Amino acid sequence: MNRELPMTKILPSNWMDMRRDWRLDVPTMLNVMLLICLLTPSLAVAQAPEIATTVAFTEGPTVDRDGNVYFTEIINQRIMKLGTDGMLSTYREKSNVANGLLIDPQGRLIACEGGLFERPGVKVKGTPRVTRTDLKTGKIEVLAANYQGKPFEGPNDVTIDGKGRLYFTDLAGVAVYRIDTSGTLTRILAAPDVQRPNGIQVSPDDRTLYLIEANQAQGGARLIRAYDLQPDGTVRNMRVHYNFSPGRSADGMSIDTQGNLYASAGMNQLRGSAETLDTKTGVYVISPQGKLLKFIPIAEDFITNNAFGGADMKTLYVTAGKTLYKVRTEVAGLPR
């Protein structure tokens, strides 16, 4: 007959010890173990948290010659200013969903505006255009709003070469454009040669144009393309400079005086796309030969862009999530 087990008895850790101490046969022993499993409380498996909504999203940093940092906060449609005194202020309300920014050699603020922006609980859109703002007077001038009569879909990021020519991407419109100093607008890349053009940069010698592809779809290009930049501002001889696939591609990037790219890429959480977590979140320092030289980790999602500033141009400002980060670098950057 099976005897009743006292509930206060400490259970032996070894089956053979249990059988010897309590003189239980194997079938009874199995029943005892089953009873223990049923009586032992189990931990509930928690559901992975999901983003319900987003209240801030930083992008497009740029730094003026005095050291003031300008960056966009897309959800609330503002251009923010971090002064040299460390004080944060709003430079421009109603930014028209401004994204990528650039300070040109004359100290004017170039902005890519109006693209559709969607996140959980958030959807904003403005009038797609590229503008130039006099930082002293606040006067805004529209540089481009359409190509051959067709409106842009969403200018995203912008850079400049040594001749003062602007290059910008229209991510949703799948095209890359150049604005000459005369104001002439030229399309230099379009589908099917590009898929989702995002960040853009020009090498210090003006001989190479770099373009980030950020296609989140299955099999989409998630990489940096390099092109020979011709004296007339056209491009040729495309090659893959650095590949982030299957992880999240870079978003924006800057460049230093030695021609190394600083690409903001990766993510820490899945977002329902074909992207994986193979690309860790941070800034990827990539040589002109396409070799990864250094990785600067950033903890916050989603990392978006970066720009050089500081008196010696060795402070890298990085936008990610709701935050503007800064990190010192060994090599001085360029204001592009």
Return the pLDDT at 52: 73
DSSP state of 269: S
Q: Percent of the chain, pLDDT > 90? A: 83
Dihedral in degrees, nearest 10, Cα atoms 210, 214, 220, 224? 20
pLDDT tens-digit readout, 282-293: 999 999 999 999
Is the pLDDT reported for residue 331 higher than 70? yes
Which structure tokens are listed for 179? 């604005």
pLDDT tens-digit readout, 102-147: 999 999 999 999 999 998 889 999 999 999 999 999 999 999 999 9
- pLDDT category, 202, cuts 50, 70, 90? very high
**Sequence-distant contacts of 70-79: CB under 8 A, at least 24 apart:** 70/101, 70/103, 70/109, 71/101, 71/317, 71/319, 71/324, 72/98, 72/99, 72/100, 72/101, 72/111, 74/98, 74/99, 74/117, 74/124, 75/117, 75/119, 75/122, 75/124, 77/124, 77/126, 79/109, 79/111
Q: Which residues contact 33 (CB under 8 A, 6 or more apart)?
A: none
Residues forming a β-bridge with 141: 132
**Mean per-residue pLDDT for 200-212?**
98
- Picking from 69, 124, 68, the residue whose alpha carbon sits closest to that of residue 95 is 124
pLDDT tens-digit readout, 25-79: 655 555 555 555 555 555 555 666 666 776 799 999 999 999 999 999 999 999 9
How much is the pTM? 0.85
Which structure tokens are listed for 149? 């009569």
Which structure tokens are listed for 9? 């008895």
pLDDT tens-digit readout, 256-274: 999 999 999 999 999 999 9
Is the pLDDT reported for residue 313 higher than 90? yes
